[in-house]
Structure 1
């Protein structure tokens, strides 16, 4: 038998075997019976196919997750870059607007609004500002005033406490208000130290907020005690007290108003509208006096005192506060407010966002107790009313 024939027989035998096996499988399947070996083979093939599919799905999922992470990283980078560019544009626009505002002859009030916007929701800054013509190490710094200056710091730990003299106040004004030259010019023009010190207290409080206290004051209680328990600090923008409540029918000989608010102690949040207005009024008045060549105080001592009250002191301060109270847009008060609302005041009174304290609160007449215990809960500050700046 030659080789070709043998190959043919082998191929034929294989084909017959395949046909036989296929026939048996067909018959078994038709009868609902599957040999165990065939069933196992098919199950194995199914598992293999499923395993391969799961593997491919996992690989695809991992690739998609990786691509998604890469996309998010790139997207965040692009968004961050856009935010930086947007912030840069806003800053440049703000600088441009400020430059145009300051160079355009805009009203002083607009410049001040832009310089220090008022945010009533901020906390009262923990600053205590004081002024005196002598430094702490100067032997001319009286012991009486030194005690008060020390107690402001002792009773209010955590507060920044700064004492300025006439030279340092000028440097501070130039630094804080360099972009509003009218303010600096007005400060330079004021002919008396007392006028400049009056002006400075408004300027430092408007720019920084906190507490201003004359050097001839002595704190009786910590500053946080000033606010009654039934008043939230969030409601407040300023704290002042009554200074003058005259019952004399000839009050006009000595005072600008029969009832005046004191400015020897003031607490305020930065940018308060009352401070903005008092600064604007003083600037306008001072520049007007320069143009009319009437800058210097004239007359006898009483006439000069009245001029100071109207120019920078508690007289114009009172006028500005009362104007604020009676401006519904600013104060949200419907009823007309007059001096009668504060005469004989015995307890703190909240008007708009201003807490008005009785005269005794910032000008207490009690003696300073050795044990530090204060019988009157509304006695916060003792004011010696030394009129110290009038001796310069």
Structure 2
């Protein structure tokens, strides 16, 4: 037994160092072509949405450097993970699971799903981060923001940590996060129209739920719900910064109040804590944030109705919202088409996941 333990420890350290090396690799892809106006439906113009404001002057960033420790969590994240909209989408694919694909414990039913991402993205770095390695990765990436690491360590359940991890890795490194039980149907280079200028896009999300029924509130927490099993982003995007700050502060408050216990359900539902509910809120908050958008020429905010029954891409500022078919083909409801549809990009199999479908819906 002593020999076995002495062998495992160096092996784990080696795996962590390999992962950290890959995290630091510079790898990106993004075709650059002229921008076009996207529509809510084929043939009908979308209403006009304001573009993101220009970044703050460099001298403001210099002022922040001298006083980072005293700043708010959001300001610290803004400083350590700056956002450059004109950069390319990093060519990373991030997934998490209890075991890596090279382990004999990796479930056979998951192998075709995991392999589909590698097959369709030959130029990408594809990493499946194990539960054991995740804490080391987060501790490295967020060493300068210890509150985030403390919050991650305090989370009582693996499903909550997995939710948090996707936002953390995308904020720090960008790329694509997708659950281990998803199958790539088309490469990410086909997710956006070929004539869309990707230097004007920083985040790509899909609609998870658009329940056009009176009792929608019995099943979902939001009338329009954005999925977070697949997300593409550039590093430092404000939506990711906002949700990381929100979850971190929420977690530390619950920890200080003694409301978090390892292995026990948190005092709030996963939907509202780290799942699609709080993710959807973060997106709508961004769409209506005057810090980033000039709404002087608009009378109303972006609301749920802006996304009812959309069938093609819809661009608001630097965020592209995909229709439900893109990440939820074949669900047989809410207008989703089948996996063979041209707009079907990722299929969520709901197979072998520790996160049941019910946890993406409103708790009874």
TM tier relative to shorter chain: 0.7 to 0.9
Q: 2 CA distance for matches of 1:157 and 1:366?
A: 28
Aligned position for 1:28: none
| Contact preservation (8 Å) 2:110, 2:352 | no
| Contact preservation (8 Å) 1:242, 1:356 | yes
1:227 pairs with 2:192: yes
Cα deviation digits, residues 217-252 of structure 1 (max 9, x gap): 000011100011342111100000000112343333
| Contact preservation (8 Å) 1:220, 1:381 | yes
Q: 2 CA distance for matches of 1:276 and 1:337?
A: 20
Q: How many residues align?
A: 288
1:306 Cα shift? Answer: 6.9
Question: Which of the numbers 288, 302, 319 marks the counterpart of 1:326?
Answer: 288
Q: 2 CA distance for matches of 1:173 and 1:99?
A: 25
Q: How has the CA–CA distance of structure 1 residues 215 and 135 changed in structure 2, closer, same or farther, with 3 Å as cutoff?
A: same
Q: How has the CA–CA distance of structure 1 residues 216 and 99 changed in structure 2, closer, same or farther, with 3 Å as cutoff?
A: farther
Aligned position for 2:253: 288
Aligned position for 1:171: 136
Q: How does 1:148-163 map to 2 (within 5 A)?
A: 148-163=113-128
> Normalising by the residue count of structure 1, what TM-score does the alignment of the two structures yield?
0.68
Question: Which of the numbers 199, 209, 231 marks the counterpart of 2:174?
Answer: 209
Q: 2 CA distance for matches of 1:387 and 1:136?
A: 14
Superposed CA RMSD in Å reads 2.6
Q: 1 CA distance for matches of 2:275 and 2:237?
A: 18
Aligned position for 1:188: 153
Question: Which of the numbers 233, 238, 255 marks the counterpart of 2:203?
Answer: 238
**Runs of 5+ in structure 1 lacking a partner?**
1-92, 368-373
Q: How does 1:265-304 map to 2 (within 5 A)?
A: 265-296=230-261
Q: How has the CA–CA distance of structure 1 residues 97 and 319 changed in structure 2, closer, same or farther, with 3 Å as cutoff?
A: closer
| Contact preservation (8 Å) 2:110, 2:181 | yes
Cα deviation digits, residues 50-107 of structure 1 (max 9, x gap): xxxxxxxxxxxxxxxxxxxxxxxxxxxxxxxxxxxxxxxxxxx97x9657422x3x21
| Contact preservation (8 Å) 2:176, 2:233 | yes
1:138 Cα shift? Answer: 3.0
1:165 Cα shift? Answer: 1.0
| Contact preservation (8 Å) 1:254, 1:306 | no
| Contact preservation (8 Å) 2:120, 2:184 | yes
Aligned position for 2:360: none
1:348 pairs with 2:313: yes
Structure with higher RCO (Cα < 8 A, 6+ apart): 2
SS in 2 for 1:147: helix
Q: How does 1:1-392 map to 2 (within 5 A)?
A: 98=65, 100-102=67-69, 104=70, 106-296=71-261, 307-333=269-295, 334=298, 335-365=300-330, 375-386=340-351, 388-390=353-355
